Amino acid sequence: MIIIYNYKKEDLIFEEINDKVRCTFWENYYFEIRKQEIEKIGDFRIRDNSIFINAGEQRINRRMSMIILNGFEKLNNKITGRHTIFIDRNTRIPLLGSTSFGIVDRNTSLIEIKPMTGCNLECIFCSVDEGKSGKWTTDFLVDYRYIIEEYNRIVDLKGCDVEAHIGTQGEPFLYPKLTKLIRGLKHNKLTKTISIDTNGCFLTKTKIDKLAGAGLTRINLSLNAIDKMIAGRLSGASYNINYVLKMAKYAVKKLDLLLAPVWVPGINDDEIPKLIGLSQDLKAKIGIQNMLNYKYGRNPMKAMPWAVFTQKMAKLEKKYGVKLLLDEKDFGIVKTKNLSKPFRKGDIIKAEIVCDGRLKNEKIAVAQGRNISVKNCTKKRIVKVKITRDKHNIFFGRCL
């Protein structure tokens, strides 16, 4: 009997590539299976992205489920080419603890949502060295349903109006389930604002309409220059500035738009006044950021001293009559009660190693409802970890 086998048809599609079957997951991710593995179950063919296998239903479901499960351990990101860890409720990996993925709560009414890592650009000033050439060895992808569950739990603990901010180590518009994520966040009655960072490359009129309808409130557009050559140099990749400007003009009609340029000294100095003028023409907000030096950033030059930067901002604010240095008060963000911490800096705990971290020889460990980034670790299973950082429920540690 020929039985059609559809594994989460809405999530996974099948195609033949030489002696392998490629399984594409959520558009941007894939793993491959040797045809021989499937032939052990029975004769098969692929049609319309589905796989048909000549075998009993129970045999197909049992064997293919195991093959698919093993395949996810070899998941790859089409954009960055990196190995990807998919995190859902079944992985038992908590979403609190990391700056790379999941949820970050800094004890305010703004909750950071990080559904994935990876970027299409190679910005020369990137604070986390994202893109294909970055130092990272692993990407993360989080199930939107898991994020929504944990988000609701945290919001309930806060018990106040919140802003859900989707800001990733990379480009959030690469997350394939963005509309569903936003709709789920909006469903919580305490969600008053949903904002998202983007470089603008993947904006379309249809997408803007769809996301605004789902509940997106504000787009923070990382627009760093208007000049084509300078914009391209800063992005480190192909960047269609004219298209991004076109989308910005459309977006401002549908939701709030914030221009969020980074001032990279010596490169886009003359572009800053142009961007201020653009914000005024669009009737959009603008918040200018100083390029800072970070441990894992690209750091193309030494950062402008903060005193010099604020002095320049003051002059521009006076000249253009607009506030350029934005803070929490400008977005209605307030302090809230702190989430409890299961352990503190200096504590020695037992934790379970569950997967690779973003860096080579870095592991993600789990203990007491938190994930911990453990550097220079090659151990497996249960380990002793000394906590080296605990601020804002973001944990780093080292193996003992």
pLDDT at 387 > cutoff 70 = yes
Residue 59, pLDDT score: 86
> Are 206 and 213 a contacting pair, CB within 8 Å?
no
Mean pLDDT for the chain? Answer: 94
Judged by phi (left if over 0) then psi (alpha if -120 to 50, else beta), residue 25 lies in beta
Give the model confidence (pLDDT) of 12-65 as tens digits. Answer: 899 999 999 999 999 999 999 999 999 999 888 898 888 888 888 788 888 988
- Cβ neighbors of 84 (< 8 A, separation 6 or more) are 29, 75, 76, 77, 138, 139, 140, 141
Which residue's structure tokens are 């394939």?
Answer: 176
Residue 9, pLDDT score: 54
Task: For the chain, give the number of residues.
Answer: 400
> Are 365 and 381 a contacting pair, CB within 8 Å?
no
Cβ-based burial of 396 (10 A; exposed 0-12, middle 13-18, buried ≥19): buried
Percentage of the chain beyond pLDDT 90 is 87
For the record, the structure tokens of 273 come out as 């006044």
Q: Characterize 313-327 residue by residue with b for buried, 16 or more Cβ atoms within 10 angstroms of its Cβ, and e for exposed.
A: beebeeeeeeebeee
Q: Characterize 6-45 residue by residue with b for buried, 16 or more Cβ atoms within 10 angstroms of its Cβ, and e for exposed.
A: ebeeeebbbeeeeebbbbbbbebbbbebeeebbeebbebe
Average the pLDDT over 149-175 and give the result.
97
pLDDT at 380 > cutoff 90 = no
- Cβ neighbors of 355 (< 8 A, separation 6 or more) are 85, 91, 93, 363, 364
Percentage of the chain beyond pLDDT 70 is 98
pLDDT at 256 > cutoff 50 = yes
- Cβ neighbors of 1 (< 8 A, separation 6 or more) are 54, 55, 56
Residue 165, pLDDT score: 98
CA dihedral 172→175→180→185, nearest 10 degrees, is -40
Give the model confidence (pLDDT) of 317-367 as tens digits. Answer: 999 999 999 999 999 999 998 899 999 999 999 999 999 999 999 999 999
CATH class held by domain 88-331: alpha beta
Residue 2, pLDDT score: 46
* CATH number of the 348-399 domain: 2.40.50.140
Domain range list for the chain: 2-74, 88-331, 348-399
